[in-house]
Structure 1
Amino acid sequence: MSGADRRSEVDAGAVALSGQLGKTIQRLRKAYNLSLSELAEQSGVAKSIISQIERNETNPTLATIWRLSQALDVSIERVLASADDEPFIEKTTRVDTPVIFSEDGKCRLAVVGWLKTVEWLQWYDFQAEPDGVLESEAHQRGSVECLSVLEGEVEVKVADAIERAGPGETLRYRCDRPHAIRVVGGKPAHATMVCFMKAALME
């Protein structure tokens, strides 16, 4: 996957996230009758950063959201919930699901993850023809990818390390360096891929 593709996904996720996060932080802060300065002192997050978050002028890392949630005594899920906390069900049709192909055209990545979490969590449906190869550039430092094989057999190479996995097996590997997924065994492969970005690991 090219850096441009990943940047476009991150940009889209940032817009989706910032659209409601700021309002939620401000609402919770006011519910606890806390000033910006008081929340900054309790969370360890700079007052100016909190102000920017509330005005939707910046997109915080998961580590920052975690610190704010601790200070507000709520879960991260609550902070990331919609401003009105109403239940919802979202549906993305097959036509609307973004799809990315490898350079050889044999590997297909369907972006099935939620755009609101794309800055720290990316989720894909991976399908590939025999001998297909998906080469990726290094992601953010500290990022980890998990590849769970449903059908077929794949081989993952990271630097000089190589490991194979078949149905029911999962490979976890650092993806903050160039890496590649290759389909082996002469049969098509199907897997789910989840990428935890640096913010999720709070390294």
Structure 2
Amino acid sequence: MAPEPAPPLVVIAAALRRERQRVGISLAELARRSGVAESTLTEVEAARADPSVETLWSLGRALGVPFSRLVEPPRAPVRVIRAGEGPRVRSEHADFTGTLLSAGSDQVRRDVYLIELEPGAVRTAEAHAPRSAEHVVVAAGRLRVGPESDLVELGPGDYAMFPGDAPHRYEALQPGTFAVLVMEHP
């Protein structure tokens, strides 16, 4: 029987501490580089704060690691994530939740997410690392996605690929929209 996974806050706290120590910087320096308050970082590393998607992206950029490296628990030989389970991170600005299904490694730089969205506020994303790409397959609902200059509408079964190194957005056009997102990092 597989061991019980660690709660998401514990996983995030351990990953943040591990990556910060790997880079060899203090909490104060990480706060300066990421724009996240040092008091918030202290709470996140102590597993007492639930960071938003935006906070984790800022920390990932400052540490030079993909977002996924901050939220994925240690790997087992066979990994199953049941519907409704997995490390879920919510957006501060939109009804958008991302669940990391699989993180890349140093050899394979891609992450797989299940994203859930509801109509209303739009989830805007800043540019990621140069030459990154995003692949989206809609499973249910309707989604408007892509770079601000080239948005496309997708329905169930539709696929789109677009550059992740330019500002882009995700907008649910129907309730209950969800999709699979694969992010490629150079």
Q: Same fold (TM over 0.5)?
A: yes
Gaps of 5+ in 2: 1-52
1:112–1:144 CA distance, 2 compared to 1 (3 A):
same
- In the alignment, does 2:66 pair up with 1:10? yes
* Contact 2:146–2:162, Cα closer than 8 Å, also in 1: no
Instruction: State the 1:101 CA deviation.
Output: 1.2
CA distance, structure 2, for counterparts of residue 139 and residue 11 of structure 1: 10
- Name the Cα RMSD after superposition: 3.2
* Contact 2:68–2:103, Cα closer than 8 Å, also in 1: no
Give the counterpart of 2:118 among 122, 129, 148. 129
CA distance, structure 1, for counterparts of residue 132 and residue 123 of structure 2: 18
* Aligned equivalent of 1:40: none
Give the counterpart of 2:98 among 99, 109, 114. 109
1:171–1:117 CA distance, 2 compared to 1 (3 A):
farther
Give the AA of the match of 1:120: R
Size of the alignment, in residue pairs?
126
Instruction: State the 1:118 CA deviation.
Output: 9.2
CA distance, structure 2, for counterparts of residue 119 and residue 100 of structure 1: 23
Q: Which runs of 4+ in 1 moved over 6 A?
A: 93-96
**TM-score normalised according to structure 1 size:** 0.52
* Aligned equivalent of 2:136: 147
* Aligned equivalent of 1:190: 178
1:12–1:118 CA distance, 2 compared to 1 (3 A):
farther
Q: Determine helix, strand or coil for the equivalent of 1:116.
A: coil
Give the counterpart of 2:170 among 173, 181, 187. 181
Instruction: State the 1:117 CA deviation.
Output: 5.8
1:83-110 deviation line (CA, Å, top 9, x unaligned): xxxx932345779722121223411100
Q: Determine helix, strand or coil for the equivalent of 1:145.
A: strand
**TM-score normalised according to structure 2 size:** 0.56
1:1-52 deviation line (CA, Å, top 9, x unaligned): 43325447638749x9xxxxxxxxxxxxxxxxxxxxxxxxxxxxxxxxxxxx
Alignment of 1:11-160 (within 5 A): 13=69, 88-91=77-80, 97-114=86-103, 116=105, 120-160=109-149
Higher helix share: 1
Give the AA of the match of 1:4: S
Give the AA of the match of 2:159: T
CA distance, structure 1, for counterparts of residue 179 and residue 127 of structure 2: 20
* Higher radius of gyration, 1 or 2: 1
1:177–1:92 CA distance, 2 compared to 1 (3 A):
same
